[in-house]
Copies of this chain bind each other. A is one copy, B any other.
């Protein structure tokens, strides 16, 4: 998810890394809560952080970046180690706390933008752009939920994937109208993050159909 050439490392990559750290931390804490062993905790952290991007890379038919690059993996392992340290020392942090939720929202927004970029560059349709943005942002968490036996949270309870879809819609509209990539990325990240922050603040949920 790194290596986008048109932006300095200090901006977009930093957002991605913060997101990877938050995703890995939340996933590993979830693993500890479900009484997994140390390998299970590490796998859950890695899957939560990297699973969405790997799924996206499979869809656009390329070898997952996470299996060839190393920077992302080191960030993820750092997140897992922090989680293990916290749990071993009588954890004071909940995955519902703002200290996890805000970096998680950053990750969701940055990952959605990365997914939209990859899908756009691969020539996918508008639907394909939305699918890749949503999967990159939420696919890792969904796989984590399945691994511990839950229906993925994004399907039942929250205003979460919707933020990625809204950001990716803005990206697609702007790019289709001829806007340059940084504009599309900024809109995607901004819209997704603001929506997610509002959803956390005001406890938004999507309605059910019935």
A positions within 8 Å CB-CB of B: 31-32, 34-41, 43-44, 54, 58-64, 66-70, 73, 84, 87-88, 119, 122-128, 131-132, 146-152, 154-157, 161-162, 165, 205-210
Contact = CB atoms under 8 A, between A and B. Distances in A.
A130 to B, nearest CB: 10
Given A63-B124, A68-B124, A73-B127, 19 more contacts: A31-B209, A32-B210, A34-B151, A35-B208, A36-B208, A37-B205, A37-B206, A39-B154, A39-B165, A40-B155, A40-B156, A40-B206, A59-B63, A63-B122, A67-B124, A67-B128, A70-B125, A84-B209, A149-B151
A155 B151 contact: no
A28 to B, nearest CB: 8
Nearest to A76: B127
The 6 residue pairs across chains A and B that have the minimum distance between CB atoms = A40-B155, A67-B128, A37-B206, A32-B209, A73-B127, A67-B124
Contacts of A68: 123-125, 128
A17 B149 CA distance: 32
A119 B32 CA distance: 30
A149 to B, nearest CB: 5
A38 B124 contact: no
Contact of A209 (B41, B123, B210): B41
Contacts of A37: 155-157, 205-209
Contacts of A125: 67-70, 73
A6 to B, nearest CB: 24
B70 A59 contact: no
A65 to B, nearest CB: 10
Contacts of A161: 39
A108 B123 CA distance: 29
B67 A131 contact: yes
Nearest to A142: B147
